[in-house]
């Protein structure tokens, strides 16, 4: 008999699960998180640092508990995905909120390493104000291939439309070689709108891929 899944909003009680999910989603198919490469933190330190950012409960970016929905099986979290409407609720870009959270949590010495990572700008794709932004899709290994990615995408879009009835676009950024995630979005009507790539091999000191894409769906 197959699993029955339920989708619910994340709460602060889910922070340990969300921290592990964010790290796994960030790694993708690689063995190392970009947080390790960029900021020089250890794998052992990372869950605590991500949890500390989530504890701050700052809405409007990818490190907000409120942005996540969780799929459960028999009450146990098995998948999650986050989303927010860019520029809401107070008009600040999510990149500013994210930068402030990382600076506060990781500390000046680690953030100072960004000076050595200027190549990261090659893969920067700005987020469009007013568009629903998806980030950090994670599905536990035993529950892959069950349609949970699509289930969460649909649920996040419905929630976004409830929050903003005039919502017109949904966007997601991902590494170009993340084919499983790309397939999920294509099946949901997303199309590739833009890309950013680096020809500098130094990019692999920090990230698992040299190309990012932005996919978009009009509602």
Q: How far apart are CA 139 and CA 136, in angstroms?
A: 10
CA dist., res. 134 & res. 108, Å (int): 28
pLDDT band at 195; cut points 50, 70, 90: very high
Q: Which of 116, 123, 105, 135 is nearest to 38 (CA)?
A: 116
Average pLDDT over residues 154-175: 97
The count of domains in the chain is 1
Work out the burial of residue 147: count CB atoms within 10 Å of its CB; fewer than 13 is exposed, 13-18 middle, 19 or more buried. middle
Range of the domain at 16: 5-218
- pLDDT-derived band of residue 98, with 50, 70 and 90 as boundaries? very high
pLDDT score recorded for residue 30: 82
Question: Does the pTM of the predicted model rise above 0.85?
Answer: yes
User: 14 pLDDT exceeds 80?
Assistant: yes
CATH number for the domain that contains residue 49:
3.40.630.30
**Collapsed DSSP state (helix, strand, coil) of residue 131:** coil
């Amino acid at each position: 008999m197959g699993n029955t899944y339920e989708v619910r909003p994340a709460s602060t009680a889910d922070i340990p699960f969300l921290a592990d999910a964010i790290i796994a989603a960030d790694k993708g198919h690689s063995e190392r998180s970009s947080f390790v490469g960029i900021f020089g933190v250890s794998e052992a330190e990372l869950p605590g640092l991500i949890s500390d950012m989530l504890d701050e409960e700052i809405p409007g970016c990818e490190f907000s508990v409120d942005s996540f929905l969780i799929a459960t099986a028999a009450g146990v979290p098995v998948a999650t995905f986050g989303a927010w409407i860019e520029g809401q609720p107070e008009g600040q870009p999510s990149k500013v909120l994210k930068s402030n959270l990382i600076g506060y949590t990781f500390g000046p010495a680690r953030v100072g390493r960004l000076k050595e990572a200027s190549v990261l700008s090659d893969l920067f794709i700005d987020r469009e104000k007013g568009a629903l932004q998806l980030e950090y899709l994670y599905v536990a290994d035993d529950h892959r291939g069950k349609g949970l990615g699509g289930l969460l995408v649909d649920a996040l879009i419905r929630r976004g439309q409830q929050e903003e009835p005039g919502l017109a676009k949904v966007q997601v950024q991902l590494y170009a070689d993340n084919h499983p995630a790309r397939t999920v979005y294509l099946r949901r009507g997303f199309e590739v709108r833009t890309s950013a790539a680096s020809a500098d091999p130094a990019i692999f000191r920090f990230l698992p891929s040299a190309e990012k894409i932005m996919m978009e769906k009009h509602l």
